[in-house]
Structures are given as C-alpha cells and as structure tokens.
Amino acid sequence: QKEVEQDPGPLSVPEGAIVSLNCTYSNSAFQYFMWYRQYSRKGPELLMYTYSSGNKEDGRFTAQVDKSSKYISLFIRDSQPSDSATYLCALVKAAGNKLTFGGGTRVLVKP
Amino acid sequence: DTAVSQTPKYLVTQMGNDKSIKCEQNLGHDTMYWYKQDSKKFLKIMFSYNNKELIINETVPNRFSPKSPDKAHLNLHINSLELGDSAVYFCASSQESHNGGIYGYTFGSGTRLTVV
C-alpha cells in the first residue's frame, strides 16, 4: 500500500463548476501538505502549502487538512479550461525531507 | 529570472551510453533534489543534497551518481543506460525557514530521457 493515495481520475467538470480533489495518507508523521499543478510536459508548480489542520484559501483555491482523519483536500472554485491539468498532493515529514507524492488526479474542465 | 533550471530538456540516447543532466538554482535554497517521474506520472525521490552533502539516497541503482559542486548545483550522471531508465527527471530545491517551516520546493521543467 502506498503512503499517499490519490484517485487518478480523470475528473471531468463543466467550466464554472467546483473541482474537488483529495488525498489520504497513512503515516501521521507527515507535517506539511502541498498541492502541485502539473501541465503536460511541464514541471510541477506549487499551488498551496499548509502546515496545520484547517482551511487555507488563496484566490479560487482552498486547501483543507484533517490530520485526525489523515485526509487532505483541494477545492477549485469557478473552474476554467486553463485549470485542466494533473493535480498532485505532496506531503513532507520535516523540513529538508523528501516530498512524498500522490499519484496525481487528471482534471479536465470543459468549456 | 529566479528559477530551477535543468539541461538538457530532451535527451535521446542508446542503451549502454553514459549521460549527465545538470541542474542549477538561483533561489538561494540549501537543499536540492532529483525526482524521477515514470510513464504513469508517479513522482519519486531519488537523491537529496543539503549544502553539498548527500542526505537522501533512495533505492537507486549504482549507475546513478549525483554530484553537487556547490549548493546551487546538483548534477546527475547515469552510467550504462538501460531502457527502463526512460523517464522524466526533475530537479527541485527547498529551503528551511527560520522557524522550522519550509518554503520553496520549486521544480525545474524536467529532462525527458529516452533510451533506445
């Protein structure tokens, strides 16, 4: 069993809908939680970074962390076709440690 | 531009050859990484260096040897390339903040290695 599980999708939504993504993890040692966006043939781009349980909002993006359930989410409001990409959750146990990635969810926002 | 830059972007080579990928970051970060993304898009850590010192070495064949001449550079040399080495290799860097948090984890645009 992988340390971080993420539904591969694809997740197809109409433009303007809310995109809901999530990851589950098994190791409570993870302390830092990130979401990356990766366009085809590009490097991962950091979208959101959270440390504690709770919500964090940045524009159209909201990240949620529930450490008790070992569950993290990313919501994208008012989705646009340009949001079509693969979204990867990434977890870290401590500063300077490696990122442990989920397998990524492919999202397609249709105009 | 501040960034993590990798060269080359594309690398096509024959089995058995030796090749190198270079990475440079001008973000002032202390830690640099190599990640491998396989055909299923799964990203996995290979190596990590902190201030030129190797701190993470996952289960990677000995044919892969990282080298960090200074904290802004981390190169990856691969000997005797095999078909299974075909993948996208990403360099990344990060920095620990003064209060123990982290920031950064910035990725380069990747090197697409194809072994034929």
Residues B46-95: pLDDT tens digits?
Answer: 999 988 888 888 878 999 999 999 999 999 999 999 999 999 999 999 88
Residue-by-residue DSSP string for A74-95: EEESS--GGG-EEEEEEEESST
Give me the pLDDT at residue B2, please: 64
Residues in chain B with CB shorter than 8 Å from the CB of A98 are: 33, 45, 48, 56, 58
Sequence-ordered list of residues with C-beta below 8 angstroms from that of A23, at least 6 positions apart, any chain:
A4, A5, A6, A71, A72, A73, A89, A91, A102
Q: pLDDT tens digit string along A63-109?
A: 999 999 999 999 999 999 999 999 999 998 876 678 899 999 999 99
Mean of all residue pLDDT scores within chain A: 93
Q: Which of B40, B56, B107 sits opposite A44 (nearest CB)?
A: B107
How far, in Å, CA of A54 to CA of A66, rounded? 7
How far, in Å, CA of A89 to CA of A2, rounded? 13
Taking alpha carbons only, the member of A13, A38, A16, A30 closest to residue A72 is A30
Mean of all residue pLDDT scores within chain B: 90
Name residue B66's amino acid: P
Could you identify the residue written with the tokens 């902190």? B50
Q: How far is CA B61 from CA A57, B27, B58, in A?
A: 41, 30, 9
Asked if the Cβ–Cβ distance from B50 to A44 is below 8 Å, we say no
How far, in Å, CA of A23 to CA of A31, rounded? 14
Q: pLDDT tens digit string along B11-56?
A: 999 999 999 999 999 999 888 999 999 988 889 999 999 888 888 8
Name residue B41's amino acid: K
Give me the pLDDT at residue A51, please: 83
Asked if the Cβ–Cβ distance from A46 to B41 is below 8 Å, we say no
Minimal-distance CA residue of chain B relative to A46: B106
Taking alpha carbons only, the member of A18, A111, A29, A12 closest to residue A70 is A29
Q: Hey, is the C-beta of A29 within 8 angstroms of any chain B C-beta?
A: no
Give me the pLDDT at residue B89, please: 97
**Residue among A98, A106, A107 with most chain B CBs within 10 A, to mutate:** A98
Asked if the Cβ–Cβ distance from B42 to A90 is below 8 Å, we say no
